[in-house]
Amino acid sequence: MYSSFEISGEIDNLKNLEGSKVYLFSGTEDSVIYPGVVRHAENLYRHFGADLKTEYSIKAEHAMISDKYG
């Protein structure tokens, strides 16, 4: 099934998500993007066959995790 966005060329084919590596993080104290929203994104990526890693248990506010500072 194709979306109208795929057909019009506004986005790539959603099949390209299959096997893509995706990391989703939501801290338990996040007041910007609530964990439920991130879980919906997880379900979406899972539906399209992405290779997922998630983290929901760290006591943290909104953040973008990086292995480099700054």
Whether residue 1 is predicted with pLDDT greater than 80 in this model: the reply is no
CA distances from 26 to 15, 37, 52 (A): 26, 9, 14
Q: What is the mean pLDDT of residues 39-61?
A: 95
Whether residue 32 is predicted with pLDDT greater than 90 in this model: the reply is yes
Indicate the Cα dihedral angle 7, 12, 13, 15, nearest 10°.
-160
Whether residue 65 is predicted with pLDDT greater than 90 in this model: the reply is no
Closest CA to 25 of 8, 13, 16, 37: 37
pTM to 2 decimal places = 0.78
